[in-house]
Each structure stands twice: as structure tokens, then as C-alpha cells.
Amino acid sequence: MVAITAPSSIDQIPLMRCPKANAGQAAAAIPCVDLSAPGAAAAVADACRSVGFFRATNHGVPASVADALEAGAMAFFALPAQDKVDMSGAARPLGYGSKSIGSNGDVGWLEYLLLSVSANSVKISSLPPSLRAALEEYTAAVREVGGRVLELIAEGLGVDRALLRSMVVGREGGDELVRVNHYPPCPLRAPGDCGVTGFGEHTDPQIISVLRSNCTAGLQIKLRDGRWVPVPPDPESFFVNVGDSLQVLTNGRFRSVKHRVVAPEGSHSRLSVIYFGGPAPSQRIAPLPQVMRDGEQSLYREFTWGEYKRAAYETRLGDHRLGSFELR
Ligand code: GA4
């Protein structure tokens, strides 16, 4: 790993280089599912099994909802650094963060807002009212998309349609987060055929994540065969990824996908908004009995979401977090 250092005008932080992904294979490798099509449940399950990631179209969220959030977020990120901290608190882990991710030394070329959005209200009350209103409207819409995807996943797995959705959406004491990531254009050049890391490679600990970005590229996913491929941006679609908890609930049939973001090099910022669907802390995370074959053993020791989340926060971003819960 090579660390590169920013010029003195920018904070001196080490930024890992991020090898360029294989652009030629992108389009073919990323499944696309029309959420309103008759075969959507099978297509979603297929994508979660083969890649752990897919692009979702026909989701029913009007473009104006995402546009309003994008505008509000860009206005927020254009404020002086101190105002952003004053309005939302420094990320610990919730709040406004810049370059530092989590509390174990991970860094990236980005600034962000990380918010708890459970029980329908954005917890950070001193955000500018227009941003708060846009976040609330967007959250309600993306939660519906997440809920629909969880229903399709359940149907595709052959379990009760409401089972996964009810663990996450609108659940009393549930743990839903929204993260708004802003990646300004990066003036640095990493050595070789590399970009600067915007957000280092990791899997998401939750059940599912639903991402929407503007039209600036940067997201990459790791395929099962180890190749990294860029995800062509599409502001009209949502991108869904399987989280570690869904991997466990399916006893490894679905795999949480490794992903990362390379900082933009040109003149445009990347703005992405991610909804993380996590259950209540007391929720038991173990393979669903309905998906197990006769005599099949769980690959994981049993845990609750609260336990897993606490453990996740002790790890570095790129760690294999499920490792210490695997039985073999
Ligand atoms: C990755 C997915 C979500 O962005 C997140 C991240 C969290 C954080 O930024 O506070 C973590 C990371 C994420 C997993 C390992 C720990 C915790 C940073 C980190 C180093 C909000 C989440 O839930 O887990």
C-alpha cells in the first residue's frame, strides 16, 4: 500500500491509492432489475446470488425528490467547515465528517453527513430547514424502495413476503441510516494507473443498502472472481447492495459485495446518498430456517444486530467483519 500526501494547502492526510478498475467489463457485469416487472423477484434473487449488487429501475421515486436533496446537500457542503460542524455535530459516528471515516484511522477524499433516520424523522434538528425537509422526503421514498426490494428478495427466496421488510422498515427501534457523501474533485495524482481513494473498500454491515448518485462516476464493486468493475453512474436508478447481515440470513447464498469509491479527477463533484437498512439492536441475525436445506448447518455463530454493529465499529473499513462470526 502506498500513501500519498496532499499539498500543504490541503490537510496532510495519507490517502491510499486505488487501482483503476476494468471499465470494459462494467455494463455486462452489473445486473439491472426492473422493479415493476413480473419476474422482478427472481431477477433480484439472481442478482443478489451472483453479484450481491444490482441497478434498480422503475422504482417509482420522482426525480424531483432526489434533485431537491442533491441541491440541498450541495448547498450544505458549500458552507464553511465550522458551520457544517456546528449544524450537525462532528461525526461520532453520526454527524458531519470530513476525510475521516469511523474511529479507527480510515481516511478518504470526501466529506459526509451520517444521519439516523429511524422512526421517520431525521434526528439532526439544526440542519438548514430546506435540507432537512428534502432529507425527510427522500428518506420516505428510499425506504419504500428498500422495503419493496426486501419483499422481492423474500419472494425470491421463497419465504414470507413481509419477513425481511418488517425487520427493517418502520420497525420500532430499527436502525436505518442515511449517509450523504460529497467527493470534491481531487487535485492529487496517485502514482501509476491509480486514482485517489474516496471511500476505501468495504462491505456494509446492514441487511441492504440503497444508493443513488449524481452523474459523476467513482463507485466500483468487486465481482466474485476478484475483478473490480466501475459502476456507470445513473442518477435515474437506485443501486442496491447486499449487506453482511443478509449474507448471514441466507446462510451465504447471497454475499455482501465489496465496494469502494475513487475520488473524481475532473471538475465535477460526486454526490451520493445511501440508505442503510438495519434492524433493531435486539434482532437475531441467523440463517432463516425457511432457506435451509435438511441438515444444513449455519455457517455463522448466532448474534444480534446490536452485537454485530458494536463489533463492526471496532474494525477498520477493509476488514473482513464476518470473519470472527464464521463457524468454519
Ligand atoms: C460502512 C457502511 C456505512 O457507511 C457505515 C460505516 C461506518 C461509519 O462510517 O461510521 C463504519 C463502516 C460502515 C464499517 C466499519 C466501521 C463502521 C466505519 C468503520 C470503519 C455507516 C456503517 O454502518 O458501517
Tens of pLDDT, residue by residue over 53-77, are 999 999 999 999 999 999 999 999 9
Q: What is the mean pLDDT of residues 20-44?
A: 87
pLDDT score, position 241: 98
Q: Is 258 touching ligand 1 by the criterion CB < 6 Å?
A: no
Number of C-alpha atoms within 13 angstroms, CB side, residue 139? 25
CB 248 within 8 A of CB 207: no
Residue 96 has pLDDT above 80, yes or no: yes
Q: How do residues 232-250 score in pLDDT, each as one tens digit?
A: 999 999 999 999 999 999 9
**Better pLDDT: 174 or 277:** 277
Integer Rg of the chain from CA: 19
Which of 317, 319, 320, 321, when mutated, tests ligand 1's pocket best, judged by the most ligand atoms within 8 Å of its CB?
317
Number of C-alpha atoms within 13 angstroms, CB side, residue 314? 9
List Cα–Cα distances, 254 to 46, 63, 134, 236, 241, in angstroms: 9, 30, 33, 25, 10
Four-point Cα dihedral 230, 231, 235, 241, nearest 10? -140
Q: How do residues 130-188 score in pLDDT, each as one tens digit?
A: 999 999 999 999 999 999 999 999 999 999 999 999 999 977 788 999 999 999 999 88
- CA of 254 relative to ligand 1 center, distance in Å: 20
CB 210 within 8 A of CB 277: yes
Across the chain, mean pLDDT equals 91
- CA of 317 relative to ligand 1 center, distance in Å: 7
Q: Is 317 touching ligand 1 by the criterion CB < 6 Å?
A: yes
pLDDT score, position 21: 73
CB 106 within 8 A of CB 100: yes
ipTM entry: 0.99
CB 138 within 8 A of CB 113: no
Residue of minimum CA distance from atom 19 in ligand 1: 102
Q: Which residue has the cell 423474500?
A: 154
Which of 202, 310, 320, when mutated, tests ligand 1's pocket best, judged by the most ligand atoms within 8 Å of its CB?
202
Q: How confident is the model at residue 208 (pLDDT cuts 50, 70, 90)?
A: very high
Q: Is 313 touching ligand 1 by the criterion CB < 6 Å?
A: yes
Pick from 71, 21, 22, 27: nearest CA to 237: 27
pLDDT score, position 176: 96
Q: H/E/C letters for each residue in the chain? A: CCEEECCCCCCCCEEEEEECCCHHHHHHHCCEEECCCCCHHHHHHHHHHHCCEEEEECCCCCHHHHHHHHHHHHHHHCCCHHHHHHHHCECCCCEEEEEEECCCCEEEEEEEEEEECHHHCCCCCCCCHHHHHHHHHHHHHHHHHHHHHHHHHHHHHCCCCCHHHHHHCCCCCCEEEEEEEEECCCCCCCCCCEEEEEEEEECCCCCEEEEEECCCCCEEEECCCCCEEECCCCCCCEEEEECHHHHHHCCCCCCCCCEEEECCCCCCCEEEEEEEEECCCCCEECCCHHHCCCCCCCCECCEEHHHHHHHHCCCCCCCCHHHHHECC
Residue 328 is placed in which grid cell? 468454519
pLDDT score, position 28: 76
Pick from 146, 137, 188, 179: nearest CA to 35: 146
Q: How confident is the model at residue 2 (pLDDT cuts 50, 70, 90)?
A: very low
Q: Is 232 touching ligand 1 by the criterion CB < 6 Å?
A: no
- Separation CA 320–CA 78 (nearest Å): 35
List Cα–Cα distances, 297 to 123, 153, 279, in angstroms: 40, 22, 24
pLDDT score, position 9: 33
Q: Is 177 touching ligand 1 by the criterion CB < 6 Å?
A: yes
Which atom from ligand 1 is nearest to the alpha carbon of 274? Answer: 4
- CA of 137 relative to ligand 1 center, distance in Å: 24
Which atom from ligand 1 is nearest to the alpha carbon of 103? Answer: 20
